[in-house]
Structure formats: C-alpha cells, structure tokens
C-alpha cells in the first residue's frame, strides 16, 4: 500500500542505492517543479525547442501547478526519494501522477477500453537514476495505488519518438490503443495512447 511511506529498499540494478516510494507531501510543490524541470526534456522529441520546453515548464509544471495537483482529490502523486547510496538523502529521484476519472482528452476517451480508469499523467525519473530499478519500483507502486483506488485500467500518452519510454511501458504491460495530440509550446505532437488492465 502506498498511502504511507514504504521502508527504504535497495534497487535491483544498483544495490548501493536505496529508494523510498511514498505519496508526495503538500509542501513539496517546489521540489516537484525542480524535478519536472530536470526530467521533462528527457521525454521530448529531439526537434522540441528549448523555448517550447521552457514555456511548458512555466505554464504547466511550475510550483503553483504542483500545489494545485497536490490539493486535487482526483490526483495522486508518488515520489521516489533517495534514502541511501550516492545521492543526498531526501533527494527526489522520480515522480508519477495519477489522474482518476474519465479522460478529458476526447481522443484518449475514445481509445481506451477499460473503465473505471486512471491516467498515468506523469512518470519521470532523473537521468542519473535510469537503469537503476527506480523507475520500475515507482511504476509498480503507482499501479498498485491505482488498483487500490478502484481503477480497473490505466492509460497514458507517450510521444511516438520516445523509444526508451515505449520500451519501458511495454515491459510494464501497456499496449497501444490509439493516438492523441499533445501541445508543447506552439507545436502539436502525436502521442500514442497506451493502456493496460490492473
């Protein structure tokens, strides 16, 4: 159960790194915005301009946005926090955000097949934690949390050019069910809609 802090656990691929998966706290909006700034560009296609990324961070992933997300009862944010190893204790290594209820995006709503559903709206891990097992532990806890809240399925949107993310989501049981558009700056990107049963 992830409504409480889990004990620190060593990561399978990096036994020197211990990570705690827990719900984000209301006072962590600024830390989450910093984490978003460090990770969002990793998921963008190569042609995305620095200005478009900066605008997205300012308008969608700023501390005030995270304050709103954290206060929303239809959202759940989980964090992977360093609790031992090379990183400073307490450093947020990654985060996810679930959004419960019907999708607001019409393309996604038409594509998904399983209801009730929870959108995996955000799933980001710092580059230095890639390949360590941190993302897998965070994903497992997030899917458990969605199941605990009554979701029968989970869906997400991912850029078609993000091969690393597509491979990761595939390993965790997500399959393509459709396509939706995602605005970054002034350019629309075509995202795959992926879904899995819980």
Which pTM value belongs to this model? 0.85
65-117 pLDDT, tens digit per residue, is 999 999 999 999 999 999 876 667 789 999 999 999 999 999 999 999 999 99
pLDDT greater than 50 at residue 1: no
Q: What is the mean pLDDT of residues 161-175?
A: 95
Q: What is the token pair recorded at 159? A: 């850029």
Domain ranges of the chain: 9-197
CATH number of 9-197: 3.40.630.30
Pairing state of beta strands 153-159 and 92-100? Answer: unpaired
Three-class DSSP labels, the chain: CCCCCCCCEEECCEEEEEEEEEECCHHHHHHHHHHHHHHHHHHCCCCCCHHHHHHHHHHHCCHHHHHHHHHCCCEEEEEEEEEECCCCCCCEEEEEEEEECCCCCHHHHHHCCCCCEEEEEEEEECHHHCCCCHHHHHHHHHHHHHHHCCCCEEEEEEECCCHHHHHHHHHCCCEEEEEEEEEECCEEEEEEEEEEEC
123-163 pLDDT, tens digit per residue, is 999 999 999 999 999 999 999 999 999 999 999 999 998 89
CB of 142 within 8 A of CB of 98?
A: yes
């Amino acid at each position: 159960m992830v409504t409480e802090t889990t004990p620190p656990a060593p990561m399978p691929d990096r036994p020197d790194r211990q990570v705690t998966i827990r719900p984000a706290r209301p006072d962590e909006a600024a830390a989450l915005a910093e984490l978003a700034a460090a990770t969002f560009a990793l998921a963008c296609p190569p042609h995305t301009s620095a200005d478009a990324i900066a605008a997205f961070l300012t308008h969608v992933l700023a501390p005030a946005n995270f304050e709103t997300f954290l206060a929303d009862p239809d959202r759940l944010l989980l964090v992977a926090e360093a609790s031992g190893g090379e990183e400073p204790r307490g450093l947020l290594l990654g985060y996810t955000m679930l959004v419960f209820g019907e999708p607001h995006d019409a393309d996604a709503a038409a594509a998904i097949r399983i209801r009730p559903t929870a959108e995996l709206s955000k799933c980001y891990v710092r580059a230095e934690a890639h390949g360590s097992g941190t993302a897998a532990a965070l994903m497992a806890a997030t899917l458990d949390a969605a199941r605990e809240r009554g979701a029968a399925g989970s869906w997400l949107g991912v850029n078609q050019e993000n091969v690393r993310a597509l491979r990761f989501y595939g390993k965790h049981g997500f399959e393509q069910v459709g396509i939706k558009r995602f605005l970054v700056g002034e350019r629309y990107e075509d995202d795959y809609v992926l879904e899995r049963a819980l």
